[in-house]
Amino acid sequence: MEPKGYDAVLLASFGGPEGQDDVIPFLRNVTRGRGIPDERLEEVSHHYRAFGGVSPINGQNRELKAALEAELDARGIELPVYWGNRNWDPYIPETLQRMYDDGHRRVLMLTTSAYSCYSSCRQYREDIGVALTETGLAGRLEVDKVRQYFDHPGFVEPFVEGTTAGLAQVREALDAADGSRDGEIRVLFATHSIPTRDAEAAGRSGSEPREFEGGSAYVAQHLANARAVMAAVAPDVAWDLVYQSRSGAPHIPWLEPDINDHLEAIAGGEDGAPIVKGVVIVPLGFVSDHMEVAWDLDTEALETCEKLGIQAVRVPTPGVHGKFVAGLVDLIRERTSDDTVADRPHVTDLGPWYDVCRPGCCENFRGAKPVIAEAGVELAGASAGQDES
């Protein structure tokens, strides 16, 4: 893409409840039209209830916004940062309206999702497309988004540091027990499970097909990133990619294995492999320590480890790590300066990912919606009423 004179940044995120009264309205927002069984909602409401009805995600995004502002300021880049969520206040449509009312016309969106799949890429592009259409801002406010940044060094390096430290801790814990051998240690890279059909559509393009390891861009991106982390940390230690937080109806296939099932398998020395006594859990799919990390990893998976007698350490997410924040500002810079695509940092050979998604990428099987940042797609109203005020 040609560099453009963006005049503001939108930090777009998921949103989460801020108290017990918010839990059910929040879950209704998340699951509207998504076909999630009531029992699953009931189950997930308990995760939030156990934390006083407060998701950690909003506090983390407030911190991230402040850190981005400080980094932009330190580098002399004059771009205000606004924050808007998909599922909770401050909502994306209100935020876009506020940006327009404040005089902004060209917005660059940054999301708190690093990989390619419907939930982490197209759904944000649809959130903007729908919001622009419904507020009547289509054609008056232009919104683009930075590339999916899974393999940007700013996202990956905090995991390298965390995995190095986590591995040292697990080795030490096993030494203290009965002497560790690396064959008894496994690194588990954890990410959100998604329906296999959504995985297969991730990053796909009808006009420019690409083959991906593991059958999808979503899986391939995680495998490539995990390999990059292990190459930097401990090339000889065994590792696996595992999934968490599955939520659909049981008859619909989602990505597997679930982390808890996998822990059971490796604790029993599956297929004659050495029995695993220590694990380093790397939340590779997540940008910050939100509820999927606090509950599904720190509560459930760590309980499973304890039950199985496995020593376990959970590695931090990038959060507001200095390298991550600086990397996000680099991602803004690569769209606002004259850098060419070839200069764009990426630690796997899958990237750098596309600035503008290719047609049909991360298809929404539940019905088409207005969408931005997709080749060949223009919002209705976008070519009419160009307003330069």
- Cβ closest to ligand HT9, residue 141 vs residue 287: 287
Any binding-site annotation on 192?
A: yes
Query: Considering the rule CB under 6 A, would residue 30 count as an interface residue with ligand HT9?
Result: yes
Letters for 86-125 (x = contact with ligand HT9 by CB under 6 A, - = none) are: --------------------------xx---x-xx-----
Asked if residue 290 belongs to a known ligand binding site, the reply is no
Do 79 and 6 touch, CB atoms closer than 8 A? yes
Residue 205 annotated as binding?
no
* Chosen residue from 291, 331, 347, 379 binding ligand HT9 by CB under 6 A: 291
What residue is closest to ligand HT9 based on CB? 247
CA 287/CA 192 separation, integer angstroms: 12
Among 20, 29, 40, 215, binds ligand HT9 (CB under 6 A): 40
Which DSSP string corresponds to 217-286? Answer: HHHHHHHHHHHHHHHHH-TTSEEEEEEE---S-TTS-B---BHHHHHHHHHTTGGGPPPP-EEEEE-TT-
Query: How far apart, in Å, are the Cα atoms of 296 and each of 166, 258, 260, 281, 304?
Result: 19, 11, 9, 12, 11
Determine contact, residues 282/229, Cβ cutoff 8 Å.
Answer: yes
If the CB atoms of residues 127 and 184 are measured against ligand HT9, the closer one turns out to be: 127
Going by their DSSP bridges, the two strands 311-314 and 278-282 should be labelled as parallel
Number of residues that bind ligand HT9 (CB under 6 A): 26
Using the contact rule CB under 6 A, the part of the chain among 55-63, 94-102, 137-145, 311-319 near ligand HT9 is 55-63
Q: In what order do the strands lie in the sheet with 238-244?
A: 238-244, 185-192, 278-282, 311-314
Is residue 57 a contact residue for ligand HT9 (CB under 6 A)?
A: yes
Taking CB under 6 A as the criterion, the residue among 6, 10, 53, 55 binding ligand HT9 is 55
Residue selected from 285, 327, 351, 352 as contacting ligand HT9 according to rule CB under 6 A? 285
Q: Which of residues 134-193 bind ligand HT9 (CB under 6 A)?
A: 192
Name the DSSP letter for residue 92: H
Q: What is the DSSP letter of 292?
A: I
**Contact in structure between 211 and 262 (CB atoms under 8 Å):** no
Listed ranges 29-37, 72-80, 262-270, 336-344: which one lies at the site for ligand HT9 (CB under 6 A):
29-37
- Nearest distance, CB of residue 28 and ligand HT9, angstroms: 10
Helix (H) or strand (E) holding 10, with range, is: strand 8-13
Query: What CA–CA distance (Å, rounded) separates 386 from 259?
Result: 50
Q: Please report how close the Cβ of residue 246 comes to ligand HT9 at its closest, in angstroms.
A: 8
Query: Where does this chain touch ligand HT9 (CB under 6 A) — which range of 49-57, 62-70, 175-183, 301-309?
Result: 49-57
Q: Is 247 in the site for ligand HT9 (CB under 6 A)?
A: yes
- How many CA within 13 A on the CB side of residue 216? 22
The length of the chain, given as a count of residues: 389
- Cα separation, 35 vs 254, whole angstroms: 14
Q: How far is residue 257 from each of residues 58, 194, 242, 263, measured CA to CA in Å? A: 30, 12, 6, 10
Question: Does 44 engage in binding with ligand HT9 (CB under 6 A)?
Answer: yes
Provide the minimum distance between the beta carbon of 220 and ligand HT9 in the complex, in angstroms, as a whole number.
15
Answer yes or no: is 124 a known binding residue.
yes
- Judged by CB under 6 A, the residue of 92, 96, 156, 194 near ligand HT9 is 194
Nearer residue to ligand HT9 within complex by CB, 130 or 238: 130
Binding residues for Fe-coproporphyrin III: 55, 124
Detail the residues annotated as belonging to a binding site. Answer: 55, 124, 192, 292
Which residues sit at the interface with ligand HT9, rule CB under 6 A? Answer: 14, 16, 27, 30-31, 34, 36, 40, 44, 55-57, 112-113, 117, 119-120, 192, 194, 245, 247, 285-286, 290-292
